[in-house]
């Protein structure tokens, strides 16, 4: 089968690294160790900023907003067509998400920004959706004119460039996510980067708990389970059985709990486990290869579907619009192709509650419209050119 999601970055070397790290003699360095510091230095040097590691991108954003020490009730501008974890991080910090609509390339429409800026507005979070760089020139100019903090969300866009300058280097700070479907992955993880001295001093003076042993083991087992299950996913349902068993026995982690989707209760913040930092250091070396491959696959899609995205797009996924995505999902699934569905509503995932995210219908009509017609095509390292051509043939008919 061909998957858009399902831990797409895992290759055989990642599988064997996870198996190796699972051995008991590695357990003393499972939660804390040298890899944590090495990864923070690697990421920090890459962006020429200070780097702090956390167990998820959403917790990195929450800690970043807290470190800015903004007045309670301050407004943070974000786009429609986003994941619920972004507004949840804002709400957890006693701040208020304010939504602005998107353009045809799934990013903040700069022309709509001025209309939502008020005296209470303190920051703009820029999401480079699917690795498509937002219009940073226009957004940066507006942020400077109104003395607003500019935060870049690199959850989709690590390695993307705007005007030949890497995203993540335009704003005051940025956050990264290393979840299983992201540009590089370790089942779970996040980071923030910044040169803001106040933020740096605040975070340096804080101590965060290390991830619980059970959670670390679950995240370490995930690449093993998925690597074994995906090749036999539809063969007598063996792959499905492997993953079902892993979840039933609680050997696999929950990516987003129901409480997190509904913004209920406090979410614990942990530092990134050392063993996951080891995996990320391994994948970091493959980042240029991953980006180059995604761009090559995207070129095939662009030629077939006649779309043009900015030079420097890293293509976490390749989005297209279709009249009836549900029918197309069903059609492609019958041929063994599982397409992506980011996002089916203005605030994803589909079972998130927009009201709990402070979003009300018709706030972002463009985001709502595009979310009803979008599908995303796979670009990850596991997709070959031949498979991409097969996807094009089936989707295009």
Domain count, the chain: 2
The CA-based diameter of the chain, rounded to the nearest angstrom, is 60
Preceding omega of 349 cis (within 30 degrees of 0): yes
Pair 113, 99: CB distance under 8 Å: no
- Amino acid 289: pLDDT: 98
Q: Mean pLDDT throughout 135-154?
A: 98
Question: Is the same domain home to 54 and 185?
Answer: yes
Question: Is the same domain home to 74 and 188?
Answer: yes
Structure confidence by residue, pLDDT tens digits, 191-247:
999 999 999 999 999 999 999 999 999 999 999 999 999 999 988 889 999 999 999
Residue 14 lies in a domain: no
Q: Rounded to the nearest 5°, which phi and psi values hold at 289?
A: -65, -45
Q: In the predicted model, what is the mean pLDDT of the chain?
A: 95
From 238, 230, 334, 309, select the one nearest 15 (Cα to Cα): 230
Structure confidence by residue, pLDDT tens digits, 39-52:
999 999 999 999 99
- Amino acid 255: pLDDT: 78
Residue 269 lies in a domain: no
Q: Mean pLDDT throughout 263-283?
A: 90
Residue 233 lies in a domain: no
Residue 265 confidence (pLDDT) above 80:
no
Based on its alpha-carbon atoms, the radius of gyration of the chain, rounded to whole angstroms, reads 20
- Amino acid 261: pLDDT: 62
Q: How far apart are CA 228 and CA 40, in angstroms?
A: 30
Q: Mean pLDDT throughout 349-366?
A: 94
pTM of the model: 0.96
Question: Is the same domain home to 206 and 295?
Answer: no
pLDDT range class, residue 291, cuts 50, 70, 90: very high
Residue 313 lies in a domain: yes
Pair 345, 368: CB distance under 8 Å: yes
Domain that holds residue 311: 287-396
Q: Which of 149, 178, 210 is the last residue of a domain?
A: 210
Residue 198 lies in a domain: yes
Question: Is the same domain home to 188 and 316?
Answer: no
Residue 353 confidence (pLDDT) above 70:
yes
Question: Percentage of residues in the chain with pLDDT exceeding 70?
Answer: 98
Q: How far apart are CA 208 and CA 211, in angstroms?
A: 9
CB atoms inside a 10 Å sphere around CB 368: 20
Question: Is the same domain home to 171 and 310?
Answer: no
- Amino acid 263: pLDDT: 61
Residue 248 confidence (pLDDT) above 80:
yes
Q: Which of 210, 236, 255 is the last residue of a domain?
A: 210
pLDDT range class, residue 267, cuts 50, 70, 90: confident
Question: Percentage of residues in the chain with pLDDT exceeding 90?
Answer: 94
- Amino acid 320: pLDDT: 97
Q: How far apart are CA 302 and CA 312, in angstroms?
A: 14
Question: Is the same domain home to 173 and 317?
Answer: no
Q: Mean pLDDT throughout 174-183?
A: 97
Residue 266 confidence (pLDDT) above 80:
no
Q: Mean pLDDT throughout 361-370?
A: 98
Residue 256 confidence (pLDDT) above 90:
no
- Amino acid 234: pLDDT: 87
Helix (H) or strand (E) holding 65: helix 57-68
pLDDT range class, residue 17, cuts 50, 70, 90: very high
* DSSP result, 203-243: HHT---EEPPHHHHHHHHHHHHHHHHHGGGSSSTTHHHHHH
Q: Mean pLDDT throughout 293-301?
A: 98
The CATH number assigned to the domain holding 363 equals 3.90.1150.10
């Amino acid at each position: 089968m061909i998957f858009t999601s399902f831990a797409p970055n895992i290759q055989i070397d990642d599988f064997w690294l996870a198996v190796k790290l699972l051995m008991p003699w590695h357990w003393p360095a499972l939660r804390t160790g040298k890899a944590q510091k090495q990864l923070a230095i690697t990421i920090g040097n890459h962006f020429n900023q200070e780097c702090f590691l956390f167990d998820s991108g959403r917790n990195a954003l929450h800690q970043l907003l807290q470190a800015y020490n903004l007045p309670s009730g301050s407004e943070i501008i974000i786009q429609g067509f986003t994941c619920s974890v972004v507004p949840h991080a804002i709400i957890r910090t006693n701040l208020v998400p304010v939504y602005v609509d998107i353009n045809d390339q799934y990013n903040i429409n700069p022309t709509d920004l001025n209309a939502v800026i008020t005296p209470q507005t303190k920051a703009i979070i820029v999401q480079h959706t699917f690795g498509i760089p937002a219009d940073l020139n226009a957004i940066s100019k507006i942020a400077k004119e109104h003395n607003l903090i500019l935060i870049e969300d690199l959850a989709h866009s690590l390695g993307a460039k705007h005007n030949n300058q890497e995203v993540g280097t335009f704003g005051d700070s940025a956050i990264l996510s290393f979840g299983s479907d992201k540009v590089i992955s370790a089942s779970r993880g996040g980071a923030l980067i910044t040169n803001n001295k106040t933020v740096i001093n605040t975070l340096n003076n804080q101590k965060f708990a290390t991830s619980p042993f059970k959670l670390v083991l679950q995240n370490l087992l995930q690449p093993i389970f998925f690597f074994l299950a995906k090749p036999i996913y539809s063969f007598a349902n063996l792959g499905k059985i492997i993953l079902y068993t892993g979840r039933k026995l609680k050997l696999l982690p929950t990516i987003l709990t129901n409480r997190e989707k509904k913004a209920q209760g406090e979410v614990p913040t942990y530092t990134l486990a050392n063993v996951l930092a080891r995996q990320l250091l391994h994948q970091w070396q493959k980042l240029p290869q991953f980006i180059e491959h995604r761009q090559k696959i995207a070129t095939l899609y662009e030629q077939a579907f006649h779309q043009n995205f900015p030079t420097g797009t890293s293509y976490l996924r390749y989005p297209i619009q279709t009249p009836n995505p549900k029918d197309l999902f069903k059609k492609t699934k019958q041929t063994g192709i599982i397409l992506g569905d980011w996002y089916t509503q203005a605030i994803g995932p589909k079972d998130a509650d927009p009201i709990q995210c402070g979003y009300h219908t018709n706030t972002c009509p463009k985001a709502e419209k595009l979310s009803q017609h979008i599908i995303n095509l796979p670009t990850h390292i596991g997709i070959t050119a031949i498979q991409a051509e097969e996807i094009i043939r089936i989707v295009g008919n």
